[in-house]
Structure 1
């Protein structure tokens, strides 16, 4: 019997949303609106978590869009709101991506807190560095839950979940995958400032489809140290 993505989605929707402890690679404390809570970072292909990203993140985005339309109906100029909003990954479907990106060259990571995925990341490895010898990894997709971003609907729940997840991915790539320090990615336009802020360098020759290519070039002193 052949199952479609929608068949799989319906089965996952019907299953208890209990996240398995299998695959936890680190734990810690996360400060935010609810106070300080425990978080876990999971490594591995997990359809349940991917589907939870779609369900919970999608529901929040729908509520946010409805709120913005309500403001518009009241005469509020929503152009500045939409300019600041981060809807560039609104169409991403994490379950679809999980079913497509499989194999040893892909690694999945999720940051979980309060029984919900707060951030997700998919990497590809090995990837040749564009500035030096050796293999690094490439970030295919990375995103935080929409309630962890600045928005007009509600106060951000947690701050810094994206960098926290990325830091763990970087250490995993070096220690478990035995890659040299460094990674690359193509940035969504509204994320460019963040990657520039953390010291990544843009390489225009590798841009694609309106997205800038960045690589995190590790200083030689840090790489040796």
Structure 2
């Protein structure tokens, strides 16, 4: 019997909403709205968390789009709001991606706080560096929860969730996957400024489908520390 993605989603929805402590590889604190909240980083293929990304992030994005539509209907010029809205990954289906990327060359990472995924990242390894003879990792997908980004609906709940998760991925890749310091990715247009800010190097030769290619090139005398957190 063949199961559709909706069959799988209904089965996952029927499971009690309790994120397992299995697979926790790191802990820390997120800051936001004058408070500190504990977080955990989970390693591994997890359909429950992936589905929760789709459900909770999708609900927020729908609320944001309805809010923008109401502003427009009331006569507000929403051009600047749409330009700053970070909705380029709104179509990403994390559960579907989980079903497509589950071999050992892919690693899933989720940053969880208050029983919700605050950021998610999928990496491929090993990946040849374009800057030198190194084996690094490639980020297939990375995103912070939409309520942790600048948006027209609410003040960001937590700041730096995506950057914190990426720091833990960097550490894991060096210590556990024995990869050389560094990583590469193709950036969504509205994320370009962030990757430039943290010092990644653009290699236009490897751009594809309107996505700019970056690599985080680590100087030989550095073992690979942390990236800068998004303020």
> Residue 95 of structure 1: CA displacement?
0.2
Aligned equivalents of 2:34, 2:58: Cα separation in 1: 21
Match of 2:120 in 1: 120
Aligned equivalents of 1:29, 1:131: Cα separation in 2: 34
Aligned equivalents of 2:118, 2:162: Cα separation in 1: 8
The Cα RMSD (Å) is 1.2
Aligned equivalents of 1:181, 1:224: Cα separation in 2: 5
Aligned equivalents of 2:67, 2:131: Cα separation in 1: 45
> Residue 223 of structure 1: CA displacement?
3.1
Match of 2:52 in 1: 52
> Residue 33 of structure 1: CA displacement?
2.5
Aligned equivalents of 1:193, 1:178: Cα separation in 2: 29
User: Tell me, which stretches of 5 or more residues in structure 2 are unaligned?
Assistant: 226-231
> Residue 224 of structure 1: CA displacement?
8.8
Q: TM-score, normalised by structure 1?
A: 0.98
Q: TM-score, normalised by structure 2?
A: 0.95
Aligned equivalents of 1:209, 1:167: Cα separation in 2: 27
Aligned equivalents of 1:29, 1:202: Cα separation in 2: 31
> In the alignment, does 2:181 pair up with 1:157?
no
Instruction: Find the residue that maps to 1:221 and give its secondary structure.
Output: coil
CA deviations 1:81-107 (Å, max 9, x no partner) are 000000100000000000001101000
Aligned equivalents of 1:106, 1:172: Cα separation in 2: 13
Instruction: Find the residue that maps to 1:136 and give its secondary structure.
Output: strand
User: Tell me, which stretches of 5 or more residues in structure 1 are unaligned?
Assistant: none
**Number of positions where the alignment pairs a residue of Structure 1 with one of Structure 2:** 225
> In the alignment, does 2:212 pair up with 1:194?
no
Instruction: Find the residue that maps to 2:21 and give its secondary structure.
Output: coil
The 4+ residue runs of structure 1 with deviation greater than 2 A are none
